[in-house]
Amino acid sequence: MPYGKPLARLRITRLRENENLEEAARAVLKHLGELKRPHLTAFEEELLSFLEAKCSSQV
């Protein structure tokens, strides 16, 4: 099932504002933000959710 891109863009932007984000995470977010499709795949959604969970646990 595809996941909506507009909401994903907001989530990506919020994560990219984290100053403590590692370069590998920044690279994944950059790639996800540049996708031309109107949705994220299930795997891409999992990556985004994983990064959100890691960032929220560091606060």
| Residue 1 confidence (pLDDT) above 50 | no
Quote the pLDDT of residue 47: 95
Other CB atoms within 10 Å distance of the CB of residue 43: 8
Query: Is 4 in a helix, a strand, or coil?
Result: strand
Domain count for the chain:
1
Spatial contact of 35 and 12, defined as CB atoms under 8 Å apart: no
| Residue 2 confidence (pLDDT) above 60 | no
**Comparison of pLDDT for 2 and 15, the residue scoring more:** 15
What range defines the domain where residue 37 resides?
A: 3-57
pLDDT in tens, 4-57: 667 888 999 999 999 889 999 999 999 999 998 888 999 999 999 999 999 887
CA 48 vs CA 16, 29, 44, 51: distances in Å: 11, 8, 6, 5
